[in-house]
């Protein structure tokens, strides 16, 4: 029986070109980048070259690129590090559909006396620009926005958000973890203050992330120790992963148009197939198009639990994720689905399908048939 992986928003396989670039740094060029001898210098040079490559690809300065252990660390660093450097302002604006890295970092600050404004979104997941204008004020420290939502695929209007922040002299942090390979990123043109990335979402290795920080902005360290990352993030660098991130980023950007076209084709064909067989199936978020990440489908089905449908598909070796968050004994609708006021939420099962490079158009009919079969066999 064939195995079909449809969970690329969770993680992607490692790009083979990136892997080949990484291999020598596992067992040949293994020197500590902080060592003064030749082997250490070789590792340091490789990191510097990777940093320059990343900066060139994203159109920013190498001194604005910082390597982290993950997108989660990068997001925490942007929010918490900036707040510690600027303690006079105590309000932060986010949305109700942020990633948990943002939500939980802000919850931590809330306990320390910060006021967190979580802006509502509409039924497609878009924040209200007017509400943002009304909420931002002289005590606002930062606006933190997820650019492309990891669950329902909504792409926010970053240009308008940036204009508002700039007008009010408020820092803007953007969670771009799901964006690489789906949209062009030009940091000089975008004008944001912070942006966070995670390599394993764009066919790079796990355990490596990236924080872009505008050069003029100061932040406090989260991790203290040595002088790595220009004294702002201590700890021996993960040289192999840094090399892999830079190469995977280059490969993703080079193939952006063909990749997004492929994902859009897959998403469109599967949704139309399912809709023809199960007219009641609902797509969460915007319709497939320019305002939606091309490879993500959040699909809801009445009279079934999310876990039951995902588990039935798993037994058929079709791997998806659910639209639910498990909380010990209870399975509750995710905060994103609650935020968009999902229809019939208490009696609805939701799965997220996220396509990737190895998925094939010729498998769409098989996938849709299996989804319909598993739904009809397990619905109450």
Q: In what order do the strands lie in the sheet with 296-302?
A: 282-284, 296-302, 348-354, 321-322
Per-residue pLDDT, 257: 97
Burial code (b: 16+ CB inside 10 Å, e: under 16) for 41-60 equals ebbbebbeebbebbbebbeb
Per-residue pLDDT, 280: 94
Considering all CA atoms of the chain, what is the largest pairwise distance in Å, rounded to the nearest integer?
Answer: 67
Q: Where are the domains of the chain?
A: 16-254, 256-378
304-344 pLDDT per residue, tens: 999 999 999 999 999 999 965 444 345 678 999 999 998 88
Q: Characterize the bridge pairing of strands 321-322 and 348-354.
A: antiparallel
Among 130, 142, 131, which Cα is nearest to 169's? 142
Per-residue pLDDT, 323: 62
The one catalytic residue in 60, 106, 165, 326 is: 326
Per-residue pLDDT, 331: 65
19-29 pLDDT per residue, tens: 999 999 999 99
Can you say whether the dihedral through the CA atoms of 120, 124, 127, 128 is positive or negative? negative
Over range 82-94, report the average pLDDT.
98
Rounded distance between C-alpha atoms, residue 128 and residue 161, angstroms: 10
Per-residue pLDDT, 302: 95
Is the pTM value of this prediction over 0.75? yes
222-248 pLDDT per residue, tens: 999 999 999 999 999 999 999 999 999
Q: Characterize the bridge pairing of strands 318-319 and 296-302.
A: unpaired
Q: 256-378 maps to which CATH number? A: 3.90.1150.10
**Correct CATH for 16-254 of 1.10.3720.10, 3.40.640.10, 3.30.10.20, 3.40.50.920:** 3.40.640.10
157-185 pLDDT per residue, tens: 999 999 999 999 999 999 999 999 999 99
27-39 pLDDT per residue, tens: 999 999 999 999 9
Burial code (b: 16+ CB inside 10 Å, e: under 16) for 151-183 equals bbbbbbebeebbebbeeeebbbbbbbbbbbbbb
Is 326 in the active site? yes
- How does residue 67 score in pLDDT terms, banded at 50, 70 and 90? very high
């Amino acid at each position: 029986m064939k195995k079909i992986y449809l969970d690329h928003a969770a993680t992607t396989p490692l790009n083979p070109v990136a892997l080949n670039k990484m291999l020598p740094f596992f067992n040949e060029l293994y020197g500590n980048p902080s060592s003064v001898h030749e082997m250490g210098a070789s590792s340091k040079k490789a990191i510097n070259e990777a940093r320059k490559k990343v900066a060139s690809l994203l159109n920013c300065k190498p001194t604005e690129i910082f390597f982290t252990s993950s997108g989660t660390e990068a997001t925490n660093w942007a929010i918490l590090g900036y707040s510690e450097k600027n303690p006079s302002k105590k309000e932060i604006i986010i949305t109700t559909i942020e990633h948990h890295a943002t939500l939980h970092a802000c919850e931590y600050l809330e306990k320390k006396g910060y006021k967190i404004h979580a802006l509502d979104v509409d039924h497609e997941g878009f924040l209200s620009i007017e509400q943002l204008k009304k909420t931002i004020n002289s005590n606002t420290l930062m606006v933190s926005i997820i650019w492309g939502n990891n669950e329902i695929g909504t792409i926010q209007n970053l240009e308008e958000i940036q204009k508002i922040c700039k007008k009010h002299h408020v820092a803007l942090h953007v969670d771009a973890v799901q964006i690489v390979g789906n949209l062009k990123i030009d940091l000089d043109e975008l004008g944001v203050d912070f942006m966070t990335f995670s390599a394993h979402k764009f066919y790079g290795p796990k355990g490596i992330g990236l924080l872009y920080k505008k050069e003029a902005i100061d932040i406090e360290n989260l991790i203290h120790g040595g002088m790595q990352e220009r004294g702002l993030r201590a700890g021996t660098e993960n040289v192999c992963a840094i090399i892999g991130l830079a190469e995977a980023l280059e490969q993703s950007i080079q193939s952006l148009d063909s990749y997004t076209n492929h994902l859009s084709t897959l998403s469109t064909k599967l949704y139309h197939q399912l809709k023809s067989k199960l007219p009641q199936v609902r797509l969460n978020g915007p319709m497939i198009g320019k305002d939606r990440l091309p490879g993500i489908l959040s699909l809801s089905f009445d009279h079934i639990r999310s876990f039951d449908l995902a588990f039935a598909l798993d037994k058929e070796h079709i791997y998806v994720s659910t639209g639910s968050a498990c909380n010990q004994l209870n399975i509750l609708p995710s905060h994103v689905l609650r935020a968009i006021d999902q229809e019939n939420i208490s009696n609805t099962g939701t799965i997220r399908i996220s396509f990737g490079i190895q998925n094939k158009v010729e498998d769409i009919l098989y996938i849709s048939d299996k989804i319909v079969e598993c739904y009809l066999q397990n619905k109450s």
